[in-house]
Structure 1
Amino acid sequence: MLLYERLANQLRTQIAQGSLRAGERLPSIRQLAHSHGVSIATAVQACLELEREGLAQARPRSGYFVRAATPPLPATRPTRRRTPGTVSNPMLQDVLDMLARSDLLPLHSATPSSALLPQAALTASLSRCLRHTPGAALDYAPPQGHLTLRRLIAQRYAQVGVTVSPEEIVITAGAMEAISLALRTLTQAGDVVLVESPTYHGILQAVAALKLKVLEVPNLPDRGIDVARLEQLLQQNTVRAAVLVPNFNNPLGSLTSDHDKQALLKSCARHKTVVIEDDIYGELAWSGQRPSPLRRWDRHGNVITCGSYSKILAPGLRVGWLVGSDWTDALLRTKYFSTVGSASLPQLALADYLQRHDLQRHLRQLCRALADNAQRMHQAVAHDWPASTRACTPRGGLSLWLQLPGMNAQALFDAALREGIGTAPGTLFSSRGEYTDCLRLSCGLPWSKALDHALRRLGQLAAKHVA
């Protein structure tokens, strides 16, 4: 047995015996190395092994903590949509009514609370732009977006090893407009589009609005996109585009490995399937180590990357972007003929903020808060929900995905609404309303007594709706 395996086994035993309990901090890397007579690298490898098993969780600048002991989700789950078909999920129509409500504890919204975002600094940036450049702030923006902001976006990509020119970037009204523009540019009604299952309901709505057919590839808990199945589907079907969320998929929070990212890009290029990458959660790695976008591994110019500031800075400013590669001109024409251009003031304000403040410092604080929230929620579920509850163990993003075998998620959703608690039933994340025993909760709310009470109450309601 290797040294790191011995150390991991000792920590595993302490967790199993209760010497190290859920939520408690593991000894620091230096303490482990010193007390066990091993190197720093060996101690790190042991902690990474526990993290891969779902027994521990890394928190930025805080160390490793013991995870709550809920059973993991099954490694695989059958996806019944094996042939292309239309989106036929009536629940997708109901989500707008829920989003419009302001009286709910918003566990249904995968958005960080305003308390976790730099409101004062952004307000100051908005005020500065209105005071100093009112003409530009209140006038039309160039269709492609303000150059200063596009340069800042390109610089951020450079920091994660991705070369992007500002001339490839088109500013949009959030990532959803970016995805919709890409689909409108690449596809025609009746074309087949590959999506993950489960996937974000907004992607399914965009596909349905354009009268496209959908083909679902499994997204596996703790592994991400099923690359082998993706290759099979591409061999069997002509697929025009694939809308993929490889970094902290919503709702599972799963992360696709770099190896699998490269493999899926090769498959898509070989079958002439354009990849529309939704990288909106890529900056929300709880460990502080941002995973690479698909674009980093693209060797065929076959990826359109969509991003947004909505999940990291300001949801209400609605500023996103496309990195269009060879499709930039076509995407820009589609943008111009739909909305002409995005609003000037939000673009200028975000550029002002990014030039004056350390985005990386804010991201560290945000990711640390999200990791803490998720761990507390995990503990609450393990303590107060039915023993059969299974949970994903994400390493980033804003989602906690739960499965209760035999549960009616729709009935739980309705019961929670009556008590002022918003949830997102699993049926929302499938083109045909599958995942009826699952739900997604948001990790974006700071921990509070109200949140603790809501999770306990949800556990009680869940127990009533398990067959």
Structure 2
Amino acid sequence: MLLYERVAAALRAQIAHGTLRAGERLPSIRRLAEGHGVSVATAVQTYLQLEREGLVVARPRSGYFVRASTPQLPASPPARRRVPGEVNNPALLDATEIRARGDLLPLHSATPALELLPQGALMASVSRCLRRAPAVVLEYAPAQGHLALRRLIAQRYAQVGAPVSPEEIVITAGAMEAINLALRTITSPGDVVLVETPTYHGILQAVAALHLKVLEVPNLPGQGIDVARLDHLLQQNSVRAAVLVPNFNNPLGSLTSDADKRALVDSCARHGVVIIEDDIYGELAWSGQRPSLLRRWDTRGMVISCGSFSKMLAPGMRLGWLACNQWTDALVRAKFFSTVGGTSLTQLAMSDYLQRHDLERHLRRLRRTLADNGQRMFEAIARYWPSDTRASEPQGGLSLWVQLPARGDSRVLSKAALSKGIRTSPGVLFSSRGEYADYVRLSCGLVWNERLDRAMKELGKLAAKLDGSKVITP
């Protein structure tokens, strides 16, 4: 047995026997080497082996920790017959953002904390634009958006194998305006729109506001969109459009495979269904490997891709976009009729930032932090929450989807959490029919600190009271 295998076996046994517990910090590489009388290189190899086995996790600037056992995955959506219908969920009418309150911990918001974003560099870009071209930044922006920014977005698409011309891009006020403009352009009241279940409540609100009918296709934990079911639904129903989140669905964080993406695009094309692809989380792969877009597999021009800088750089700048082809002119008109144009200052400042800074370097740091946060939340659930709590295993994005123990109601949990200064998102918001009452969505985008750890402990206590279970304490 090689030296590193011998040291790994010793640590493996300590983890199995509970001597080293989930979330505990392991000895530094130097201390491990000294304690076992091996070289630093051997100690490094030991931790790399245990990391490959999923027993330990590395945290930037913190060292190695015992990895929490991943909670069981949530149950898949009920296998019931789905038919088109209007959005019928009163909870969605109240799902508007409460003004930021410093006393509330925003575990409800799928947005990265400002501390994780390049605030200084972005503000410097804003200042440069104000100094150098004050007349330009105070004028109306073109309805389609400034060409400099459209070129930079097109370059990013080319890097991920989904080339698009700058002339096919329309700048919007975030991804939600992009989705709304696409729906308004290609649908009419009464049309049927396919969406995932569960899915982001903003998509459901947009469908409801435009008086469209919704048809739900399951998104399966750990697998992504149920493509076989999608094809069956399209065979049985007349569907005009599909609003889909194949890369890190909100709230599940699941990733649809390339094979399923190709089959999905082919199925929609055969049935004449326009796909509105919400790729707002595509850059936030926890593995560091950016997944493909549906647009990559589109050979018939049936995919409109929507993206945004909100989740990776600047939520408050409200900068998103549409990447399309045959609908470009219609979308530009819809944008002009809606808001005339976007904001010149933010568009030019974002262009300045992207030209001066390495976006990929920032994304690498952000992805590592989000992956680390997800692991810490798993550890907190293992320590503090009832033992039969289930949680999704996100592959990217900013959300953790948690299924409460039997009889647990996330609306009751969210109300109780507010009294403790914690805000969460009850699961009923992610269904057109008010399902998923026993689920809650939590954000992985906050900076991990003692306050957040205490909040997870408090939520565990509240979850235990919902069904009388006992909380697991360290």
- Equivalent residue, structure 2, for 1:3: none
Aligned-pair CA distance for 1:62: 10
Q: Distance in 2 between matches of 1:259 and 1:62?
A: 38
Q: Given residue 410 of structure 1, which amino acid in structure 2 is its aligned partner?
A: R
The change in CA–CA distance for 1:409 and 1:300 in structure 2 (over 3 A counts) is same
Q: Distance in 2 between matches of 1:142 and 1:419?
A: 46
Q: Distance in 2 between matches of 1:221 and 1:385?
A: 20
- Equivalent residue, structure 2, for 1:322: 322
Q: Distance in 2 between matches of 1:25 and 1:246?
A: 36
1:384-403 alignment, distance < 5 Å = 384-403=384-403
- Equivalent residue, structure 1, for 2:153: 153
Q: Distance in 2 between matches of 1:360 and 1:58?
A: 21
Q: Distance in 2 between matches of 1:265 and 1:20?
A: 47
1:32-51 alignment, distance < 5 Å = 47=52
1:250-399 alignment, distance < 5 Å = 250-399=250-399
Q: Distance in 1 between matches of 2:282 and 2:255?
A: 9
The change in CA–CA distance for 1:348 and 1:190 in structure 2 (over 3 A counts) is same
Q: Given residue 415 of structure 2, which amino acid in structure 1 is its aligned partner?
A: D
The change in CA–CA distance for 1:98 and 1:407 in structure 2 (over 3 A counts) is farther
Q: Given residue 315 of structure 1, which amino acid in structure 2 is its aligned partner?
A: P
Aligned-pair CA distance for 1:419: 1.6
The change in CA–CA distance for 1:64 and 1:232 in structure 2 (over 3 A counts) is farther
Can you give the 5+ residue segments of structure 1 that lack an aligned partner in the other structure?
Answer: 1-7
- Equivalent residue, structure 1, for 2:448: 447
Is contact 1:171–1:320 with CA below 8 Å preserved after alignment?
Answer: yes
- Equivalent residue, structure 2, for 1:91: 91
1:119-158 alignment, distance < 5 Å = 119-158=119-158
Q: Given residue 221 of structure 2, which amino acid in structure 1 is its aligned partner?
A: P
Aligned-pair CA distance for 1:76: 2.5
- Equivalent residue, structure 2, for 1:175: 175
SS in 2 for 1:263: helix
Q: Distance in 2 between matches of 1:70 and 1:422?
A: 24
SS in 1 for 2:467: coil
SS in 1 for 2:239: coil
TM-score (normalised: structure 2): 0.88
The change in CA–CA distance for 1:12 and 1:73 in structure 2 (over 3 A counts) is farther
Matched pairs, number? 448
Q: Distance in 2 between matches of 1:258 and 1:15?
A: 36
SS in 2 for 1:96: coil
Q: Given residue 291 of structure 2, which amino acid in structure 1 is its aligned partner?
A: P
Asked which structure has the greater CA Rg, the reply is 2
Aligned-pair CA distance for 1:56: 7.2
Is contact 1:108–1:442 with CA below 8 Å preserved after alignment?
Answer: yes
Aligned-pair CA distance for 1:358: 0.5
Aligned-pair CA distance for 1:22: 3.3
Q: Distance in 2 between matches of 1:151 and 1:58?
A: 37
Is contact 2:74–2:391 with CA below 8 Å preserved after alignment?
Answer: no
Q: Given residue 313 of structure 1, which amino acid in structure 2 is its aligned partner?
A: L
Q: Distance in 1 between matches of 2:81 and 2:65?
A: 39
- Equivalent residue, structure 2, for 1:244: 244
Aligned-pair CA distance for 1:71: 2.9
SS in 1 for 2:96: helix
TM-score (normalised: structure 1): 0.89
Can you give the 5+ residue segments of structure 2 that lack an aligned partner in the other structure?
Answer: 1-7, 30-40, 469-474
Q: Distance in 2 between matches of 1:20 and 1:272?
A: 56
Is residue 202 from structure 1 mapped to residue 226 from structure 2 by the alignment?
Answer: no
Aligned-pair CA distance for 1:57: 6.7
Q: Distance in 2 between matches of 1:84 and 1:176?
A: 23
- Equivalent residue, structure 2, for 1:414: 415
Aligned-pair CA distance for 1:103: 3.7
Q: Distance in 2 between matches of 1:445 and 1:349?
A: 25
Q: Distance in 2 between matches of 1:316 and 1:349?
A: 13
Aligned-pair CA distance for 1:340: 1.1
The change in CA–CA distance for 1:34 and 1:458 in structure 2 (over 3 A counts) is closer
Aligned-pair CA distance for 1:376: 1.0
The change in CA–CA distance for 1:223 and 1:66 in structure 2 (over 3 A counts) is farther
Is contact 1:58–1:286 with CA below 8 Å preserved after alignment?
Answer: no
Is contact 1:187–1:240 with CA below 8 Å preserved after alignment?
Answer: yes
- Equivalent residue, structure 2, for 1:163: 163
Q: Which one is further off, 103-112 or 57-66?
A: 57-66
Is contact 1:251–1:399 with CA below 8 Å preserved after alignment?
Answer: yes
Q: Distance in 2 between matches of 1:183 and 1:63?
A: 47
Q: Given residue 281 of structure 1, which amino acid in structure 2 is its aligned partner?
A: Y
Aligned-pair CA distance for 1:70: 4.2
Structure 1 runs (4+) deviating above 4 angstroms are: 8-21, 23-28, 30-36, 55-66, 99-102
Aligned-pair CA distance for 1:101: 5.0
Of all paired residues, the percent bearing the same amino acid is 68
Q: Distance in 2 between matches of 1:271 and 1:313?
A: 37
1:422-433 alignment, distance < 5 Å = 422-433=423-434
- Equivalent residue, structure 2, for 1:224: 224
Q: Given residue 436 of structure 1, which amino acid in structure 2 is its aligned partner?
A: A
Q: Distance in 1 between matches of 2:291 and 2:59?
A: 16
Aligned-pair CA distance for 1:74: 4.4
Q: Deviations over 1:14-34 (max 9, x none)?
A: 865557753468999x96997
Q: Given residue 459 of structure 2, which amino acid in structure 1 is its aligned partner?
A: L
SS in 1 for 2:151: helix
Q: Distance in 2 between matches of 1:33 and 1:419?
A: 42
The change in CA–CA distance for 1:180 and 1:11 in structure 2 (over 3 A counts) is farther
Is contact 1:403–1:437 with CA below 8 Å preserved after alignment?
Answer: yes
Is contact 1:60–1:288 with CA below 8 Å preserved after alignment?
Answer: no
The change in CA–CA distance for 1:162 and 1:198 in structure 2 (over 3 A counts) is same
Q: Given residue 287 of structure 1, which amino acid in structure 2 is its aligned partner?
A: S
Q: Distance in 1 between matches of 2:72 and 2:343?
A: 44
SS in 2 for 1:379: helix
Q: Deviations over 1:229-265 (max 9, x none)?
A: 1011101101100000010110000011111100111
